[in-house]
Amino acid sequence: MHVIFVEPAFPSNQREFVRGLAETGAKVTGVGESPVEILDDELKSWLYAYEQVPSVVHEEAMLETVRKIQARGWVDRLEATVEAHILPAANVREKCTIPGTSVRTAFLCRDKVAMKEALREADVPCAESDHAETEQDVRAFIEKVGYPIIIKPRGGAGAAGTYKVTNDDEANNAIRESRLGSGVSVALEEFIEGHEGFYDTLTVNGEVVHDFATHYYPNVLEAMRTRDVDPYFITTNRIDVADGYNEARELYKKVRAALGIETSPTHMEWFYGPKGLKFSEIGCRPPGVGGWDVYSAANDFDIYKDWALAVTHGRTDQKLSRQYSCAMLALRPNQEGRITHYEGVDEVLERFGDMIVTHRFPPPGARTGGVEGGYMANAWMRVRHPDYDELRKILAMISQSIRIYAE
């Protein structure tokens, strides 16, 4: 089995997909933007070959490179796992007649407006939405649904470039920052009140083989805008015993069928509030910021290995333990600048060390990351515990105990 894998070196966990493929016995040709000399020896040991391109989202360059690889020998799969890479990879895959996620599916999982239109036709409950190219489009949408609304990129991931608009002044700012009127098209959505989480799967030939239910605390927009909170997301080990998750599973079945997802990781965001369970968006890819490492730690298994088996053999061979709930906790400095010192870290590591899966604390002198940079922009920890509620208490104690100072 010969697999082309797009961008094996960045971000850092991309190497784990390559490792998984190599451990299944696949020959892996990496295509990335870095010179081969930059790759470390371990990563190179997992690669059969490597090709450098100016950009992995430049379709002409990718097409030329993939055809060059095909000229040397048969290619069974072309895989990408980063949001921005999914659609370019699908276009190249189709032109080179390589099996995998279709252009239609990749497009519908990338373009927020087209996604919602397709899902409404399939009776999937979604927020009211539209698209806008001009200020007048935004004003018309506000007149139709009222405040608050969400303005975000049509093909974005996470909360990047996303605005919650609650009044005319905020609308003016979002319109200006989004550069409407300059050829930019944005997605508009009714703001849905409620708790936010995500339901992720590894889907093989249209069937869910592994699934995970995960909750945000607080919701993403607040987490990416507020310095005085240490946000986290936590995957629960109660998914098979708590009835409420069945509704998310049924929602995903309708979404999968409507979008034509066959063999792929998926990342489906949802809201639950006064209007019930509402679909937010889906990616035909794994979650970001180490979500798969959280799932592996929670379930005592190697998700990258099972993904590789799904891609190469159409199956998986591991069972989820559901032994732990596991969280990704972001720890934020008191201000922007350079880190001067930490307080409370040693005490936390001593008290909760057997529950801490891994952690990162940038050294003093390191420049801080902005709040908008997300969960891994500064210090962070992955923490697990058999009881979901107890884990939430532990996360609160860690957040209260650790202080990060910058100047």
Pair 268, 252: CB distance under 8 Å: yes
Over residues 55-98, the pLDDT tens digits come to 999 999 999 999 999 999 999 999 999 999 999 999 999 999 99
CA distance 92 to 5: 13
Please state the CATH superfamily assignment of the domain spanning residues 128-190 in this structure. Answer: ATP-grasp fold, A domain (3.30.1490.20)
Over residues 169-201, the pLDDT tens digits come to 999 988 888 888 787 888 898 888 899 999 999
Share of the chain above pLDDT 90, in %: 81
Average pLDDT of span 100-121: 94
CA distance 197 to 304: 22
Per DSSP (E only), the strands in 194-324 are: 195-204, 207-217, 232-235, 264-273, 276-283
pTM of the model: 0.90
Nearest to 231 by CA among 217, 215, 252, 212: 217
* DSSP codes, 281-316: EEESS--STTHHHHHHHHHTS-HHHHHHHHHHHS--
Over residues 264-305, the pLDDT tens digits come to 999 999 999 988 999 999 999 999 999 999 999 999 999 999
Helix (H, G, I), strand (E, B) or coil at 162: coil
What is the average pLDDT score of the chain? 94
Q: For the domain 2-100, what is the CATH code?
A: 3.40.50.20
Angle at CA of residue 69, ends 67 and 72, nearest 5°:
110
b/e burial code for range 72-97 (CB count within 10 A of at least 16 → b): eeebebbbbbbbbbbbbbbebbbebe
Question: Where do the structural domains in the chain lie, given as residue ranges?
Answer: 2-100, 128-190, 195-406
Q: Give me the half-sphere count of Cα atoms (radius 13 Å) on the Cβ side of residue 43.
A: 22
The β-bridge partners of 381 are 329, 359
164 — pLDDT class (breaks 50, 70, 90): confident
CATH 3.40.50.300 fits 195-406, yes or no: no
Over 80: is that where the pLDDT of 376 sits?
Answer: yes
Share of the chain above pLDDT 70, in %: 99
CA distance 375 to 132: 30
348 — pLDDT class (breaks 50, 70, 90): very high
Over residues 244-259, the pLDDT tens digits come to 899 999 999 999 999 9
Pair 124, 254: CB distance under 8 Å: yes
